[in-house]
Amino acid sequence: MQPATERSDLPDPAARPDPARSHLMRLERHALVLAVWLPLGFLALALFHRGFAGFGAAWLAAGFGAVLAAFVLHVIVNAVLGTWFNGREVAVGAGAFALAVLALALFSLLSPGFAGSFFLPVAGGLIVLAAAVVIAMVTAFGPRGAFERFDIIRDNNPRDGSRLPHRGGRR
Amino acid sequence: MTALLVAALSGLAILAVYIAALSARVSADAGSFSDAGGDLPGWAVMFATAGILLAGIDLPAHLALIGTYGLQASHIGIGLVLAAMGGLLFRGRLWLAARIAGLGSPGEALGLYYGSVALRVVVLSLVVIFALPFAAHLLSGAGGLLETATGGALPRTAAIAVLAFALFLPAVIGGWRASVLVLAVQSALLLALILFTVGFPELIRLPGGFLSVGIAVPEGMAADRIPGVFQYSAGIGKDHLPEGIFTTLGIASASLSLVGLAISPGLLWLAQSARPGREGGFGLVWLGAGLSAGILLLAAPFLAARLSAGPGPYAEILRAAEPLAGLALILLLILAGQMAAGFFATSGTLLVMRELVCRFVLPGLDAKAQRLAARIGLGFAFFALAVLAGFAPLFSALFASLALPLSLQLLPALLGLCFVPWISRGAVLAGLVFGALLVFFTEPPGLILFEALFLDLPWGRWPLTIHSAAWGLAFNLAVVLLASIFSKGGEERAHRERLHRAFAENRRGPAIGRTGATALWSLTLIWAFLAVGPGAILGNWFFTQPVFAGAEILPGLPSLMIWQLLFWLIGVMLVWWLAGRSGLGVTSDAHLRRISLTDPGLAMRGARAPDWIAAGVARVTGRLS
């Protein structure tokens, strides 16, 4: 807010110190991700609500379509900004997916009539979403890289030998 | 509905505060609180601009106009293509002026370039009109709607206070950066809400609607055609035009007023605060001229056709079909008003603090004190906004009508700053005076004031069905051209030429060439004549009664609507050409050569407070100490 005469040399944004810059970039990416998920999330919620109210599987499919669209846009954001899903996003995504699978299983077992009307469209939608995640990972990291992201056991006991090139040499 | 609506609005408010808190934590630098350090992300500016173009036209009022006048009123949606062109023309040059000469806001740029304090005062007055009556009018509408939607459980004034507080919090916590990020997220939601609210009833085949029954306009109104090139009318309030007021000249002039929105100080400042890149131009082409104008032309008539009984009853019908669809409609209309009100109040306050308070009233403040001053200013501004919206809605509505047409009167000054060095300070000021007077006396505030004090005027609002923006601009331009003939040389011209030379030296992007420029502007003029000018009258029957066919064709949509969509698409292509091929949509900070516009001998320089302000402040501070 300095007067113009004192600011003929505006600070060059690229010259900022790195930590502050990276925090700023993270904030902006976070806001962009919110801008993607907020509208499409609302849309998906409305479509799911109508689908579960008994108006047909097409509404459920459209709801999964909205979620898929948001996921694809999220991947595009990652690609443009040169980032990947952060820990919190993975946690929220995996948690929501697990919750949905659990809810599907419980309702199918406990709620009479639910399985007949909703099991196939919901299970199909969840499978499509899982497939989309796998495709995104394979596209981003390649088949081996994508598998290594889940290879927790190998990471749990890192011995020096595992760093050798002929044993993988991943680290 | 009440619980759902309150939950949704609370969720949006919490999200805004969350983003603002993150932003405040990240941008701990006090100096960037008010201007984001000129480092706003391009995508946020892109979404925010599109959202403000859509919300700033007062979306509920626009839908009501379509409900009353039919497709002739929805035709002014093409004005957003013109607005995008106007925004493109100036945003790049103003951005460059901020980087190479430190002219970091529109008022500063115009004031220093022309060496005129009066121009700074004019821009600041405009900023205040946008920040208070205009924003208050929009907030008042949102508050009224919230009262209706909650069935009176939340009274209008309380609703306005709550909405104003929800707007104030993110602004005061995170400053300009947070406000723009929040606005960008909300703009994305707004676009989705419009598409859902329009598409859902058609998907479930809700009875009625545009395709089956059309827009229920009053008896005698020309619902799907333009009522003439112009009509000999004394204006609204003096004459009744049974077929409607949106003649082709009415549409052209109302579209021009939308250019006033695109070149309003707040939106220009937003463009100046952006990071270099292509996103700003991209946003104006595809989100402004493309999506926003398309929504107004294609989606708004569908929505307006169903809103004939008002938003409340239609929301109930939607709610019966799907509760979240009813919520989406109310949320859409409230969010539109809230977004525009918040943006203009925040940008206006920060501009006033920057250009008036921190420059003239308290020039010695350090960065932290300036941030504190800005926060106090935001507090006062949002309080005044809530008071105006809550207790003086009529006053707000009257003065809000001046905002867009008065903003358009800055066009010659901006043309001079960005492209035409022979436009002089005296010419711009004289033009502004004439333009502002014409606007004032063809809009309600001037008419009411004059008729109450003196005698009845023979004209009303929009005489000859021409919007006040065009009346003002016609006289403004005529005076500017005449005055510039006699004042285009001299020492001032040399001062102005320095900036234009710097623009030429720092030019980036492809050069369009003389032939390309001639082709571009010729096509633009032909397009404007046919899209929003007198040629648009051809659209009334062009696609239903083609000249040489000798028969009537039923294309399924009114001929005028097809004409609108056709010229919208052509307009988008023109804006794309303007942004991409001519380089106006691209900004780059590589190898900039900086200049200083602070030569001795001109009126405006330095940060010294004028003596009378300094003496006034000293008197107050002396008493306090």
Q: What does the DSSP assignment read for B364-406?
A: T--HHHHHHHHHHHHHHHHHHHHHHHHH-HHHHHHHHHHHHHH
Q: Are B41 and A4 a contacting pair at CB < 8 A? A: no
Residue B103 contacts A, CB cutoff 8 Å: yes
- The token pair at B585 is 């949509």
Of residues B361 and B60, the one with the higher pLDDT is B60
Is any Cβ of chain A less than 8 angstroms from the Cβ of B599? no
Residue A168 is assigned to a structural domain of this protein? no
Amino acid sitting at position A107? F
Pairwise pLDDT comparison (B612 vs B94), residue with the higher score: B94
Does a structural domain hold residue A53?
A: yes
Non-local CB neighbours of A108 within 8 Å, separated by 6+ positions = A114, A115, A119
Residues 6+ apart with CB under 8 A from B275: A13, B38, B39, B40, B41, B42
Higher pLDDT, B359 or B327: B327
User: What is the least distance, in Å, from the CA of B84 to any CA of chain A?
Assistant: 22
pLDDT at site B509: 60
Which residue from A3, A23, A46 is facing B325, i.e. has the nearest CB?
A46
Q: Tell me, what's the pLDDT at A162?
A: 65
Q: Tell me whether residue A27 is in a domain.
A: yes
Mean pLDDT for B160-187 is: 96
Nearest CB among B188, B350, B594 relative to A35 is that of B188
- Residue B279's pLDDT is 86
B184/A1 touch (CB, cutoff 8 Å), yes or no: no
Among residues of chain B, what percentage have pLDDT more than 90?
Answer: 65
Q: Give residue A143's pLDDT.
A: 82
B414 in reach of chain A (CB within 8 A):
no
Mean pLDDT of B558-585: 90
Nearest-CA distance B506 → chain A (Å): 15
Cβ–Cβ under 8 Å, residues B415 and B165: no
CA distance B277 to chain A (A): 13
- Whether the CB of B609 is below 8 Å from some CB of chain A: the reply is no
Contact B47 A1 (CB under 8 A): no
- Which residues on neighbouring strands pair with residue B274, listed in sequence order? B40
Residue B508 banded pLDDT, cuts 50, 70, 90: low
User: What is the number of CB-based contacts under 8 A between chain A and chain B?
Assistant: 122
Looking at the domain assignment, is residue A135 inside a domain? yes
> Does residue A158 lie within any of the structural domains?
no
Interval B109-135 mean pLDDT: 93
Taking the CB of residue B584, how many other CB atoms lie within 10 A of it? 25
Contact yes or no for B102 and A9 at CB 8 A:
yes
- State the distance between the two ends of chain B, measured CA to CA, in whole angstroms: 55
Compute the distance between CA of residue B567 and CA of residue B532 in angstroms, rounded to an integer: 9
- ipTM value for the complex: 0.89
B607: pLDDT strictly greater than 70 = no
pLDDT band at A10 (very low <50, low <70, confident <90, very high): very low
Q: What is the pLDDT of residues B221-244, one digit of tens each?
A: 888 899 989 888 888 888 888 888
Query: What tokens does B285 get?
Result: 């082409």
Q: What is the pLDDT of residue B326?
A: 93
Residues of A in contact with B197 (CB under 8 A): none
* Residues in chain A within 8 Å Cβ distance of B196: 42-43, 46
All structural domains of chain B: 2-231+260-399+491-520+586-624 (1.20.1730)
User: Is residue A157 a part of any domain in this protein?
Assistant: no
Per residue in A71-128, pLDDT tens? 999 999 999 998 899 899 999 999 999 999 999 999 999 988 888 889 999 999 999 9
* For B374, nearest residue in chain A (alpha carbons): A1
Is A162 domain-assigned?
Answer: no
Interface of B with A in 185-204 (CB under 8 A): 185, 187-189, 191-193, 196, 200
Residue B552 burial (C-beta neighbours within 10 Å; 0-12, 13-18, 19+) = exposed
* HSE (side-chain half, CA atoms, 13 Å) at A58: 3
What pLDDT, on a 0 to 100 scale, did the predictor assign at position B624? 57
| B195 Cβ neighbours under 8 A, 6+ residues apart | B295, B299
Per-residue pLDDT, A8: 38
| pLDDT tens, residue by residue, B280-314 | 888 999 999 999 999 999 999 999 999 988 898 99
pLDDT for the residue A18: 67
Three-state DSSP state, B274: strand
The residue in chain A having the minimum alpha-carbon distance to the alpha carbon of residue B187 is A35
CB B161 within 8 A of CB B136: no
State how far the Cα of B187 lies from the Cα of B51, in Å rounded to an integer. 5
For residue A26, list chain B residues with Cβ-Cβ distance below 8 A.
Answer: 26
Cβ atoms A48, B33 nearer than 8 A: no
CB contact under 8 A, B359 and A3: yes
Instruction: For an interface test with B, give the residue of A1, A22, A73 to mutate (most B CBs within 10 A).
Output: A1
Interface of A with B (CB under 8 A): 1-13, 20, 23-24, 26-28, 30-32, 34-36, 38-40, 42-43, 45-46, 49-50, 53
Which one has a higher pLDDT value, B616 or B232? Answer: B232
| Domain containing residue A136 | 18-152
> What Rg value do the Cα atoms of chain B yield, rounded?
24
The DSSP secondary structure of B443-464, one letter per residue, reads SHHHHHHHHHHS---S--BSGG
Residue B337, pLDDT score: 95
Model pLDDT, residue A94:
94
Reply yes or no on whether the pLDDT at A164 is more than 80.
no
Query: What would the two tokens of residue B529 be?
Result: 């004549």
More confident of the two residues B81 and B584: B81
In chain A, which residues have their Cβ closer than 8 Å to the Cβ of B185?
A: 31, 34-35, 38
Chain B, window 163-182: residues with a beta carbon less than 8 angstroms from a chain A beta carbon = 181
Measured distance CA(B571)–CA(B409) in Å, rounded: 24
The total of structural domains in chain A comes to: 1
Q: How far is CA A165 from CA A143, A157, A170, B473, in A?
A: 18, 17, 8, 74
* Residue at A3 is within a domain: no
Verify whether the Cβ–Cβ distance A1 to B324 is below 8 Å: no
Dist. CA B163–CA B621, nearest whole Å: 35
What is the rounded average pLDDT for all residues in chain A? 83
Q: What distance in Å separates residue A69's CA from the closest CA in chain B?
A: 13
B578: confidence class by pLDDT, cuts 50, 70, 90: confident
Q: List all residues 6 or more positions away from B375 whose beta carbon is below 8 Å from its beta carbon.
A: B172
Terminal Cα-to-Cα distance of chain A (whole angstroms)? 48
The pLDDT of residue A140 is 85
